[in-house]
Structure 1
Amino acid sequence: MDSILVTGNGPLNGQIPIAGAKNACLTLMPATLLSEEPLTLTNAPRLSDIKTMTALLQSLGAEVSSLQDGQVIAMSSHDLTSQTADYEIVRKMRASNLVLGPLLARFGEAVVSLPGGCAIGARPMDLHVDGLEALGAEIELKDGYLHAKAPGGLKGAVHEMRFASVGATENIVMAATLAKGTTVLMNAAREPEIVDLVECLRKMGAQISGEGTSTIEIQGVDRLHGATHQVVTDRIELGTYMLAPAICGGEVELLGGRMSLVESFAAKLDAAGVSVTETENGLKVARKNGRVTSVDVVTEPFPGFPTDLQAQMMALMCTAEGTAVLEERIFENRFMHAPELVRMGANIEVHGGTATVTGVERLKGAPVMATDLRASVSLILAGLAAEGETTVSRVYHLDRGYEHVVRKLEGVGAKIERIKGQ
């Protein structure tokens, strides 16, 4: 099993290109199931999760081709052979559940295994089911599979979600595009990935308004056509690499970055003593004056502080001046990186959904283990600022969400290498 060796090596300087958003691309790919005509995505990230979604779509009979070194994905669902998403594929990745809405909308039936992915909490499917049932679907859970039917087709409805779930919003919006009549989805998630999905669906002929707000209205149409769409910049990769110069010092420009994607996160960095400025090509990040200052963080749905940047922010707080309190309100069980950071000399106490981090002068390199996708990169960030060598094992998590992480960090002066497993 591969590992990553990181050696603390001082300030970082240079440029890092930011890829297309993993979470956006994984949402856009199932949209091909809504139409017989081709859907082409550009600026696609080259990640193992994308390969998993490709395998899932192909198992349904879709044609999926990776072009231009993986940055273009060409898809066609003109001749699907199955409406069953099998456990052996779905178990690998939570986003696999996003085929449920499109299959149900286009074919009137779908059988989808309960999903897998990172072990960061239950993340149940009830919000997806509630929304689809509001549109007239009949859904039954049998032997670990959701069996969904809409014999007379889906019908528009007014539905208020109990929680602003990103995945449920995406599933319901895609299903509603082909429903009869108008759907009004209230307490919808507002994330940029949802705005990106709606922009793509609109190119395919969908009639949708209100994306980016808590109320989305969808006027159902009879059919959708093909389109070409560019995947939005990955705000989580952007935020992750913004933390590299914040932790190590130096000045790094994130190519393709946009302040609108990370406003709440950038505000926290500013409060901690890290400068974030817009440039012609992206965002430039640098520490203002020496050691950063501790800031409290509460994870919230967009536009609040992203849960997917909580682990990385904890790494920064480990060497900040003062004490920070990080409260996780989105997912339970998402502090599994804390004990690994403690192995590196961090002072962290976890009580339920709250972690208290008292900054230390310097972390020390140590062998640590990645427990999930974002935890893995938080340990790499910590290792960049630690004294000595840090070996991060189980980095297969990393490959799900960050392309060429070693190459990108090496490009700004980090001492980092991937060690092939035996």
Structure 2
Amino acid sequence: MNSHLDLDSRKAAQRVGLASDTIVIRGGKPLTGRIEVRGAKNLVTKAMVAALLADTPSVLKGVPEISDVHVVKGLLEAHGVVVDELMPGELRLDPSNVSSAHFAEINAHAGSSRIPILFCGPLLHQLGEAFIPDLGGCRIGDRPIDFHLNALRALGAVVEKLDDGIHLTAPDGLVGAHIELPFPSVGATEQVLLSAVRAEGTTELKNAAIEPEIMDLIAILQKMGAIISVEPNRVIVIEGVKQLRGYVHTAIFDRNEAASWASAALATHGDITVGGAKQQELMTFLNIYRKVGGEFEVLEDGIRFYHPGTPLKPVMVETDVHPGFMTDWQQPLIVALTQAEGTSVVHETVYENRFGFTDALNEMGADITVHQSGIASITRRVPRRPLEQAAVVTGPTHLTGADVRVPDLRGGFSHLIAALAAEGTSTISNVGIISRGYELFIDKLEQLGADFELV
């Protein structure tokens, strides 16, 4: 048993008011109906941190009710930022009285979250120092923070590793630099943006991530007064400015949540309309969805995803950085692929340990073989990468209920989908972890007609 994981899950559940950390699902019933998605977890939390850079308050709209938002709110408040909810989903963030936070406060709010690393740049600008505790997050691979720390060092930060975390100072302030990332890391790109935007001089970032959430963060920073150019070949140029003002912004929708519900519709032979979802940011996913045999209808205010009643087809998927197929999309999709007629192959090239969730699927009756060193193929389009893995999914298979512990955010939602598609009863524990990135998912299950209860 992983006591840290259990504790993290209970805390996450408490933050969003979940009455229990365990759900019993009676599966085999199609999910049908309409649910809404709001702002993306991967943008909203970073936009909240960006408010630290301003001299005046910011207003962020479309904020989802998820555990990670509560974590960032607590961390901001620990540093003296006043966070007010103007109305459901709308936050006002006032950084007028930013101050240092005590280690115990940071640790209490952060828990195993990796969010504190992104506070470094803004706090170095505002206070001249920052502290981050040991970092956690989902157990899906090593996810080293070296990219972050090396970027901060390049910008002039002095990094001191202590027993209980990392202390950073910037005696001469942050200064522009030429930085090239070894991999187009989303987190490291966000780090450079949040740190270089008020640094003295110009920063050129090569091999940057260009995900839609990154573009939305750049739009926010531009509203605040930043000068940021996105150039060809993954190059971002940031011209530092002395001051930034607050922003008013509506967050981009959560494409990961939208894709997860789409996969749930496919796996359960359902029909789900995801309000707030938009076609442009989901084009790569939609292509694969259609190849598998799923149908969708793009509406003015969302996308309808449904199983057409014909057999699903196997596919070959390679995860990659944007504009490729997102790593966060493959886990829910694999559940649907267990019902495709034939053999599908999913190449995971972003994280090295993201197939752990398939053990539970196999216990439920799936036929999934994980190749720890990946699989070479002449049909591959994404270059092979160190530590990549591959999953071979043979279907269709008959899924039956089981007792499952949620291992991580996306894997946990995939277990929910499997339980909903399976015949019989499943008991899923540690569902609090799912609330880190899926807003009001219990309410949405109820809206879609799922047969379940919290215990």
**Aligned residue for 1:49?**
68
- The 1-side partners of 2:37 and 2:233 are apart by 26
Runs of 4+ in 1 over 6 A off after TM superposition: none
Matches within 5 A, 1:120-199: 120-199=140-219
- The 1-side partners of 2:231 and 2:360 are apart by 39
Question: Is the partner of 2:144 in helix, strand or coil?
Answer: coil
Report the TM-score, using the length of structure 2 for normalisation: 0.88
Q: CA deviation at 1:200?
A: 0.9
- The 2-side partners of 1:167 and 1:370 are apart by 24
* Residue of 210, 235, 239 corresponding to 2:259: 239
Q: CA deviation at 1:233?
A: 0.2
Kindly indicate whether residue 88 of structure 2 is the aligned counterpart of residue 62 of structure 1.
Answer: no
* Residue of 2, 21, 29 corresponding to 1:10: 29
- The 2-side partners of 1:212 and 1:385 are apart by 44
Kindly indicate whether residue 112 of structure 2 is the aligned counterpart of residue 110 of structure 1.
Answer: no
RMSD: 1.8
**Aligned residue for 1:251?**
271
Question: Is the partner of 1:350 in helix, strand or coil?
Answer: strand
Q: CA deviation at 1:277?
A: 2.8
- The 1-side partners of 2:231 and 2:213 are apart by 10
**Aligned residue for 1:81?**
99
Q: CA deviation at 1:83?
A: 5.8
Q: CA, structure 1 residues 212+338, in 2 after alignment: closer, same or farther (shift >3 Å)?
A: farther
Question: Is the partner of 2:126 in helix, strand or coil?
Answer: helix
- Give CA deviations for 1:119-165 in whole Å, capped at 9, x if unaligned: 11221111111212222222222224222222221111221111111
Q: CA deviation at 1:84?
A: 6.0
**Aligned residue for 1:266?**
286
- The 1-side partners of 2:161 and 2:118 are apart by 17
Q: How many residues were matched structurally?
A: 418
Q: CA deviation at 1:262?
A: 1.6
Aligned residues of 1:83 and 1:103 also touching (Cα < 8 A): no
Aligned residues of 1:36 and 1:79 also touching (Cα < 8 A): no
**Aligned residue for 2:414?**
378
- Give CA deviations for 1:241-260 in whole Å, capped at 9, x if unaligned: 11122112232221111112
* Residue of 361, 365, 382 corresponding to 2:401: 365
Amino acid corresponding to residue 203 of structure 2 in structure 1: T
Question: Is the partner of 1:258 in helix, strand or coil?
Answer: coil
Kindly indicate whether residue 433 of structure 2 is the aligned counterpart of residue 413 of structure 1.
Answer: no
Question: Is the partner of 2:140 in helix, strand or coil?
Answer: coil
More off after superposition, 327-336 vs 377-386: 327-336
Q: CA deviation at 1:10?
A: 3.3
Kindly indicate whether residue 432 of structure 2 is the aligned counterpart of residue 396 of structure 1.
Answer: yes
Q: CA deviation at 1:11?
A: 2.9
Aligned residues of 1:319 and 1:363 also touching (Cα < 8 A): no
Aligned residues of 2:157 and 2:168 also touching (Cα < 8 A): yes
- The 2-side partners of 1:59 and 1:212 are apart by 39
Aligned residues of 2:365 and 2:397 also touching (Cα < 8 A): no
Aligned residues of 2:86 and 2:92 also touching (Cα < 8 A): yes
- The 1-side partners of 2:67 and 2:115 are apart by 13
- The 2-side partners of 1:361 and 1:347 are apart by 7
Amino acid corresponding to residue 60 of structure 1 in structure 2: H
Question: Is the partner of 1:210 in helix, strand or coil?
Answer: strand
Question: Is the partner of 1:330 in helix, strand or coil?
Answer: coil
- The 1-side partners of 2:131 and 2:429 are apart by 36
Q: CA deviation at 1:31?
A: 0.7
Q: CA, structure 1 residues 251+211, in 2 after alignment: closer, same or farther (shift >3 Å)?
A: farther
Aligned residues of 1:26 and 1:50 also touching (Cα < 8 A): yes
**Aligned residue for 1:30?**
49
- Give CA deviations for 1:248-291 in whole Å, capped at 9, x if unaligned: 22322211111122221111111101122311111121224423
More off after superposition, 171-180 vs 11-20: 11-20
* Residue of 72, 81, 90 corresponding to 1:72: 90
- Give CA deviations for 1:198-245 in whole Å, capped at 9, x if unaligned: 111111111112189611111111100112111110011010011122
Q: CA, structure 1 residues 329+299, in 2 after alignment: closer, same or farther (shift >3 Å)?
A: same
Amino acid corresponding to residue 66 of structure 1 in structure 2: E
- The 2-side partners of 1:112 and 1:25 are apart by 20
- The 2-side partners of 1:395 and 1:376 are apart by 7
- The 2-side partners of 1:341 and 1:78 are apart by 50
**Gaps (5+ residues) in structure 1?**
none
**Aligned residue for 2:112?**
92
Aligned residues of 1:9 and 1:414 also touching (Cα < 8 A): no
- The 2-side partners of 1:176 and 1:247 are apart by 44
Q: CA deviation at 1:35?
A: 1.6
